[in-house]
Amino acid sequence: MRETQRAPVVAGLMLALFMAAMEATAVSTAMPTVISDLGGIAHYAWVFTAYMLASTVVVPICGKLADLYGRKPTMLAGIAVFLIGSMASGQAHTMGQLIAFRAVQGLGAGAVQPMALTIVGDLFKLEERAKMQGLFGAVWGISGLVGPLLGGLIVSTIGWRWIFYVNVPFGLASSAILFFFHHEQVERRAHGLDFLGAFVLSLAVVSLLLGAQGGRATLALPAGAALLVVFVAIERRAKEPLVPLHLFQRRVIATASVAGALIGGAMSSMVTYVPLYVQGVLGGSPSLAGAAIAPMVIGWPLASALSGRIIPRVGFRPLVRLGFLVVVIATVWTALVMTEGATAATARLPAGLLGVGLGLANTPLLLAVQTSVEWRERGVATASTMFFRMIGATLAVGAMGGVLASSLRANPAVSEGLINRVLSPERRAIPPETLRAIAGSLQGGLATIFWLICALAVIAFGVSLAFPHVALSQAGPSGGGASGKAGR
């Protein structure tokens, strides 16, 4: 068995994460323009929730596959599916097609992001992992800066479809590097994947999302709740459950999962709805919409790098609590300033502060979870933590999409066709009084959404107060993993 060459592998992982992170911010920037082309403002949130739901369901499955078959094949398969979904999304001609293809893309993303973090956990010791989190945080920062700016440029020049095509060279380069330079020795054993649990969970989440749309669809809420009960019963009996419930008997994983779900909902909702506010309410360009959220993904890596350096001195818990407190301040600030008279630049400072809070909290949160388990559980523990963050994001973005749809339906003078025109270059031809009515409806719904984001952040901070002390030397014995001298 050849030795893993850590430097090229890290480069390959960075390329994969760059691809996924840039995609998130670029699509958020492009979506108002996509709506103006394909229509379907009522389904705006579903373009994001379909992606996140698919990612959410597949994350724990990929975590289990990684522990059974190895991180490398799982990662390569995820990149391949992500690229297929990207190419198909670029070919979409209806909103329904785009939603479906985004779900395929999400299936791939559900493998790429947790596998990258798990491989890092295998290759590096705790002290090194803290430093690597800073490096990977820098990747998020660069991609976060490039994504909105590149997204705005692409939309304004060659068209929104190239937002998806641009992923291909990064994915192919990452796959080639990992194929040739990452080598691991995995103990193969009998297995059983919890496809029934994944299916029931998907039905439950879709039911909850439909119920959040309001109207007659509200009847889906009790069905979703009942399906969640069925899902828990399935997980209790499954030989290899989608979500290993025994892990959540550990306080560190339980609190990290709940707090992660809440903060994931707050973060994803900000990234989803701030660009819509800038373009739909303020009349800004796609580039301005992207620039409004860019500071968040710049502040994140800077704070993540700082957090990684401080962890060996202060431990995990103080940074988790401080980070979540900063998030509360940032979300309250956003809700207070995003009112009538705001400008595209108004959101930048609170967005940057939000990124600082996320960077301070997420690095110690993840490292504490990885430190508290053995190698054979590290993949599924990492994936399970990300699972809850993504399920929180999926439900929050979908539910807030329902809030927005209800606000728009409340004004019969605001039709979907008019909203599509507001988000397109035809905006200039709309009579001023009509434009004000449409912007007012959008602003009313989005103002409610921003305060709901605050509520999520406040509850997350409350949960973080229960985060336990985790000793830096608590890591379980290593085993399996990458061959050679890769530290663990």
Q: Residues 234-265: pLDDT tens digits?
A: 988 887 777 777 777 888 888 888 998 898 88
Does the reported pTM lie above 0.85?
Answer: no
Same domain, 249 and 152: yes
Averaged pLDDT, 175-203:
77
Q: What confidence tens digit (pLDDT) does each residue in 394-416 have?
A: 788 878 887 887 777 777 666 66
Say if residue 218 is in the same domain as residue 352.
no
Cβ atoms of residues 289 and 29 within 8 Å: yes
468-482 mean pLDDT: 55
Residue 88 in domain: yes
Mean per-residue pLDDT, 193-217: 75
Please give the average per-residue pLDDT across 483-487, as a whole number: 34
CA angle 377, 365, 118 (to 5 degrees): 40
The pLDDT, as a whole number, for residue 477 is 39
Provide CB contacts within 8 A for 460, sequence distance 6+.
259, 262, 263, 266, 324, 327, 328
Is residue 110 in a domain? yes
- The answer to whether position 150 is within a domain reads yes
pLDDT of amino acid 457: 94
In a domain? residue 480: no
Residues 191-210: what's their mean pLDDT?
78
CA distance 65 to 377: 12
pLDDT in tens, 53-73: 788 778 777 777 777 778 888
257 and 390 share one domain: yes
- pLDDT score at 475: 45
pLDDT band at 487 (very low <50, low <70, confident <90, very high): very low
* pLDDT: which is higher, 217 or 159: 159
In a domain, 473, yes or no: no
d(CA 22, CA 227): 34
Q: Higher pLDDT residue, 190 or 149?
A: 149
Provide the mean pLDDT of the chain. 79
Asked if residue 470 has pLDDT above 90, the reply is no
Q: Which two tokens mark 124? A: 């590096």
Position 485 scores a pLDDT of: 35
Same domain, 216 and 355: no
What whole-number distance in Å separates Cα of residue 431 and Cα of residue 437? 10
- Asked if 183 contacts 4 with a C-beta cutoff of 8 angstroms, the reply is yes
235 and 251, same domain (yes or no): no
**89 found inside a domain:** yes
My answer on whether 331 and 430 are in the same domain is yes
CB count in 10 Å sphere of residue 148: 30
pLDDT of 190: 56
Q: How much is the average pLDDT of 126-143?
A: 68
232 and 271: one domain? no
Residues 119 and 21 in one domain: yes
Q: What pLDDT score was predicted for residue 333? A: 93
Q: Per the structure block, which two tokens stand in for 83?
A: 């690229």
pLDDT in tens, 290-326: 778 778 877 877 888 788 788 888 888 889 999 999 9
- pLDDT (average), residues 323-349: 87
Domains contained in the chain, number: 2
Q: How far is CA 264 from CA 68, 126, 220, 393, in A?
A: 28, 24, 24, 5
- When pLDDT is averaged across residues 174-192 and rounded to a whole number, the result is 76
| Residue 13 included in any domain | yes
| The dihedral formed by the CA atoms of 11, 12, 13 and 18, expressed in degrees to the nearest 10 | 80
User: Are residues 396 and 406 both part of a single domain?
Assistant: yes
DSSP code of residue 243:
S
Cβ-count burial of 4 within 10 angstroms (0-12 exposed, 13-18 middle, 19+ buried)? buried
* Alpha helices by DSSP H, 125-194: 126-156, 162-165, 167-181
Question: Are 437 and 380 in a shared domain?
Answer: yes
User: Would 479 be classed as within a structural domain?
Assistant: no
Beta-bridge partner residues of 482: 184
Q: Does 312 share its domain with 386?
A: yes
Domain holding 64: CATH number?
1.20.1250.20
9: which 2 tokens?
A: 């592998």
**What is the residue range of 15's domain?**
6-178+240-464
Per-residue pLDDT band for 461 (boundaries 50, 70, 90) equals very high
Instruction: Tell me, yes or no, whether 305 and 390 share the same domain.
Output: yes
